[in-house]
Amino acid sequence: MRPFITLSGPAMPMIEDDINTDQIAPLQLAKGLSPDWGQLLFKRQRMNADGSDNEHVLNKPQYQKPAILVANENFGCGSSRESAVWCLTGVGIRCVIARSIADIFRENCLLNGLLPIELSGAAMDRLQALVSEIDGAQSFSVDLPAQTVRAPNGETFSFEISASDKTRLIEGLDEVGLTMKHESEIVAFEDKIRKSMPWMQEARDRRL
Amino acid sequence: MSQQGRTLFDKIWEQHLVGRRSDGRELIYIDRHVLHDLHAPHAFGKLAQAGRQVRRPDLTFSMQDHSVSVQPGRTDDTYAEGAAFVRAMREGSRKNNVRVFDLGDPDQGISHVVAPELGLVLPGATHAVPDSHACTVGGLGALAFGCGTTELEHILATQVVTLFRPKRLRVNLLGSLGADVAGKDVALAVIAKLGVAGGRGFAIEFAGPVARALPVEGRLTLCNLTIEMGSRSGFVAPDEAVFNWIKGRPFAPDGAQWDQALTYWRTLFTDADAIFDKELDVDCSHLAPQITWGTEPSQVIGIDGRVPDPATLESDKRAPVERAISYMGLEPGAPIEGLPVGRVFIGSCTNSRLPDLEIAAHIVKGRKVAPGVTAWAVPGSSQVKRDAEARGLDRIFKEAGFMWGESGCSMCAGTNGDMGQAGERVLSTTNRNFENRQGRGVRTHLVGPALAAAAAVAGRITDVRKL
């Protein structure tokens, strides 16, 4: 996984609640197993009925290479589709800042080097106002080791993140490798269950 | 001094706790892993790239459900865009020695319907699916986790999922249900009260007399909508009704193992003195059949209710309501009943089991689908389809003018090309009424099978209790 340490670039405002993964990645419009994910991002919402671009924020010239997306409550709710994260990273967005972020989507972010930041209260009010006001004209920057978001005028916003998620992103750790350090515990667990609850370790079709 | 009682969630979690990683995440063993064609091909690809094997192919199963056509006589290519997914799923499963429930297999169907039906998922077991509606099987008292593609790959390689332990929320469903009110209505009423993010960070136990009285299929429907409350996992403590339902199913334990399992399953309840992080009471007495009016599952009213009027709301609450009313083509403050309907869909992991089809068929019987309405009934599994046909339900639907389909996800997510038309008002027994979910500009109202069937024959949103 690509490590995340710092990031700098345009912060794109979508100050809405409950932006769901169907909106982020409208899979009905995807062609084939490996579509251009970035091209799919918010595709339904950013085109008119005839397929032409509408006035969606993502169609504005200053957001052709966005780095940060700023939303409101419950970002990424709905379907578990990881392609929602791939669509965001596909256009270069590597940080989402919202008042709250849905559980499965948040996990998917962490596994793809996308930093999910939850900010609330007056700090978030201020950050959202700045992002809307600057409207992509200047860069915002994110410093994960320092746990800060910095606006172009120098105002900084601190955010919380668990130590483990922070390490995971900074080091770009291989998740499977990390878990397989515990392989002997997994084997021991399976042996124990095979004896104490054999039906759990056996998914046998009794018709065969 | 006696030990503090434990919640059922904690009992299942602790029974599956393999270890704790240095980053503080807990390793939770997955007993049954079910994959589907929309997301598994990517994971198989990534696994092969990394040179890794499926650790427990014997506990892993593949289901073709999301990108398959449901038209009678379907093949891989009936929905041309889906064929690549179906073939990649078949090929990836074969290479990894994973049993695939393929098109034409008598057990093919929607994974969340088939896994319980085959007895693949069991009380107290953990279950993972790369799909947010994995939570459905909580109706059997299983603990399920919907996951993404990378998590799926992780489970394939390790058979564990790594999580921080969620908090516990108990939803107490009080009272009793009236006529024409079922699991879907209860679930929608809970979402209306809890909100679409109220369950975020929690595992939800549905308890109380209404949960107990729901038939097993109704509990599966209730738990199916847990993710629409913002929570990954929801369940009902298993009881004798569940044990009887599971007994004799193809993958269920038998003989001495059955007795042993039953003894264990009877310990799967929340202790009387256990403490939850949060509790919510929902009184279900006097609950009318529920219908969503807006573009989020929490925008719910009774069938006898009215669309909200933004003018009566606080100013900061108005914008999303106005937007939903505009998208849905509604009149503020007007009754929901009477609106003309263009399409009706009965199916999906939410409401496609035999009792759902029986409820709908009972209403449709001897009537005709109203002129101008397209109506589909899509069984949740090939087994449900056979059971329904053995009872003559297919004839009732077809004689009324319904399309009677093969099993699959179909219009729920539209990832097999089944979608409505822009501006069309759809009554759907599915789980998400998001903008554009069922096609660009489609106006989806979520309902149970009774309201869906009533709308199909009346051509309008209709209070089934008056039919």
pLDDT tens, position by position, B82-127: 999 999 999 999 999 999 999 999 999 999 999 999 999 999 999 9
Nearest to B162, CA basis, from B23, B11, B8, B45: B23
Ranges A64-73, A115-124, B17-26, B264-273: which has the least confidence: B17-26
Question: In this structure, are B251 and B346 located in the same domain?
Answer: no
When pLDDT is cut at 50, 70 and 90, the band that residue A205 belongs to is: very high
pLDDT of residue A174: 84
Whether B225 and B333 share a structural domain: no
- Residue A125 phi/psi, 5° resolution? -55, -45
Q: What are the strands, taking DSSP E only, across B317-359?
A: 343-346
Coil, helix or strand for A198?
Answer: helix
A139 lies in a domain? yes
Closest chain B residue to A45, measured at CA: B436
* Local confidence band at B23 (pLDDT 50, 70, 90 cut-offs): confident
Q: Is residue B146 helix, strand or coil?
A: strand
Residues B55 and B85 in one domain: yes
**Chain A environment of B157 (Cβ under 8 Å):** 176, 180
- For B439, name the nearest residue in chain A, comparing CA atoms only: A28
Q: Does B112 touch chain A (CB under 8 A)?
A: no
Shared domain check, A153 and A120 = yes
What is the edge-to-edge ordering of all strands in the sheet holding B160-163?
A: B17-20, B26-29, B160-163
pLDDT band at B22 (very low <50, low <70, confident <90, very high): confident
Give the pLDDT band (50/70/90) at residue B460. Answer: very high
Q: What is the CATH classification number for the domain harbouring B249?
A: 3.30.499.10
- Point out the residue among A80, A175, A198 whose CB comes nearest to the CB of B131: A80
Residues A153, A183 within the same domain: no
pLDDT band at A49 (very low <50, low <70, confident <90, very high): confident
The average pLDDT across A141-151 equals 98
Q: Chain B contacts of A204, Cβ < 8 Å?
A: 251
Do A122 and A190 reside in the same domain of the chain? no
pLDDT of residue A183: 96
Please spell the DSSP secondary structure of B88-103, one letter per residue. Answer: HHHHHHHHTT-EEE-T
Compute the average pLDDT of residues B328-353. 98
- Residues A19 and A75 placed together within one structural domain of the fold: yes
Contact B76, B88 (CB under 8 A): no
Interface probe, candidates A20, A74, A79, chain B, greatest B C-beta count within 10 A: A79
Outline where B391-448 has alpha helix (H).
Answer: 393-400
Do residue B318 and residue B280 come from a single domain? no
Residues spanned by the domain of A197: 175-208
CA–CA dist B231, A102 (Å, integer):
9
**B245 and B359 fall within a common domain:** no
The chain A residue lying nearest B57, using CA atoms, is: A203
The closest CB to that of A33, out of B41, B125, B201, belongs to B41
Average pLDDT over residues B44-67: 96
Residues A110 and A181 occupy one common structural domain:
no
CATH number, domain with residue A118: 3.20.19.10
Residues B246 and B272 grouped into a single domain: yes
Question: Which positions in chain B touch A206 (Cβ < 8 Å)?
Answer: 250-252, 254
Whether A49 and A70 share a structural domain:
yes
Nearest-neighbour CA in chain B from A170: distance (Å): 13
Give the count of domains, chain B: 2
Is position A197 within any domain? yes
User: What is the number of domains present in chain A?
Assistant: 2
Q: For residues B433 and B417, what is the distance between their CA atoms, to the nearest angstrom? A: 17
- Residue A42 backbone zone (phi > 0: left; psi -120 to 50: alpha; other: beta): left
- Is B46 found in the same domain as B11? yes
> b/e for B89-108, b at 16 or more Cβ within 10 A?
bbebbeebebbbbbbeeebb
The pLDDT > 70 percentage for chain B reads 100
Across residues B399-428, what is the average pLDDT?
97
Contact call for B254 and A206, based on CB within 8 A? yes
Residue B68 pLDDT greater than 60, yes or no = yes
> Does residue A182 share a domain with residue A98?
no
Assign 3-class secondary structure to B179-217: CCCCHHHHHHHHHHHHCCCCCCCEEEEEECHHHHHCCHH
Task: Return the SS3 of B109.
Answer: strand
What's the average model confidence in pLDDT over A157-182?
93
Q: Cβ B153–A203 below 8 Å, yes or no?
A: no
Is the predicted pLDDT of residue B1 greater than 60, yes or no?
no
Chain B residues with CB under 8 Å of A79 CB are: 131-132, 413, 432
Same domain, B152 and B244: yes
Q: What whole-number percentage of chain B has pLDDT above 90?
A: 98
**Does residue A76 lie in a domain region?**
yes
Which one-letter amino acid corresponds to residue A156? Answer: T
Q: Is residue A21 part of a domain?
A: yes
Mean pLDDT over residues B275-295, rounded? 98
Statement to judge: residues B41 and B184 lie in one domain: yes
The pLDDT of residue B397 is: 98
Locate the chain B residue with the closest alpha carbon to A105.
B148
Residues of B in contact with A77 (CB under 8 A): 196-197, 230
- Do residue A180 and residue B158 have CB atoms under 8 angstroms apart? yes
DSSP string, A32-96: SSS--HHHHTTTTTTB-TTS-B-S-GGGSGGGSS--EEE--SSBTBS---THHHHHHHHTT--EE
Structural domain contains residue A101: yes
Residue B342 and residue B254 share a domain: no
Contact residues, chain B, for A185 at CB < 8 Å: 18-19, 27
Q: Are residues A146 and A189 located together in one domain of the fold?
A: no
Tokens of B420: 């409505």
Using CB atoms and an 8 Å cut-off, which of residues 129-168 of chain A contact chain B?
162-165, 167-168
Residues B168, B48, single domain; the answer is yes
CA distance A177 to B230: 30
Alpha-carbon dihedral of residues B213, B216, B217, B222, nearest 10 degrees?
A: 60
Contact across the interface for A23 and B52, Cβ inside 8 Å: no
Q: Does B251 touch chain A (CB under 8 A)?
A: yes
Residues 6+ apart with CB under 8 A from B86: B37, B64, B67, B68, B76, B103
Contact between chains at B120 and A203 (C-beta distance less than 8 A): yes
Cβ distance B454 to B467 under 8 Å? yes
Q: How many CA atoms lie within 13 A of A44 on its CB side?
A: 21
Q: Give the span between the Cα atoms of B85 and B244, in whole angstroms.
A: 37
Same domain, B177 and B123: yes
Shortest alpha-carbon distance between residue B227 and chain A (Å): 7
CB contact under 8 A, A102 and B197: yes
| Inter-chain CB proximity B231 and A175 less than 8 Å | no
Question: Which of B296, B298, B317 has the highest number of chain A CBs within 10 A, making it the mutation to test binding with A?
Answer: B296
In the listed set B228, B262, B288, which residue is the last one of a domain according to the structure? B288
Question: Which chain A residue shows the shortest CA-CA distance from B226?
Answer: A78
Q: Which of residues 37-56 of A touch B (CB under 8 A)?
A: 44-45, 49
Looking at the structure, tell me whether residues A127 and A203 fall in a common domain. Answer: no
Are A48 and A148 found together in one domain? yes
Residue A31 exposed, middle or buried by CB count within 10 Å (0-12, 13-18, 19+): exposed
Residue A1 lies in a domain: no
Question: Would you call B424 helix, strand, or coil by DSSP?
Answer: coil
Write out residues 20-39 of A within 8 Å (CB-CB) of B. Answer: 20, 22-23, 26-28, 31-33
Out of B196, B232, B415, whose CB is closest to A18?
A: B196
List for chain A the helix, strand, coil content (%; round to 5). 40, 15, 45
Question: What is the DSSP code (8-state) at residue B121?
Answer: S
pLDDT tens-place string over residues B191-209: 999 999 999 999 999 999 9
Give residue B2's pLDDT.
59
How many A×B Cβ pairs under 8 Å? Answer: 186
Structural domain including B104 reads 1-288
Domain finish residue from B272, B288, B304:
B288
A83 plus A180 within the same structural domain: no
Give yes or no for A118 touching B (CB within 8 A).
no
Instruction: Answer whether residue B347 shows pLDDT above 80.
Output: yes
The Cα–Cα gap between B248 and A62 comes to 62
Buried b (16+ CB within 10 A) or exposed e, B190-222: bbbbbbbbbbbbbbbbbbbebbeebebbbbbbb
Residues A117 and A144 in one domain: yes
For an interface test with A, the pick among B227, B258, B295, B349 (most A C-beta atoms closer than 10 Å) comes out as: B227
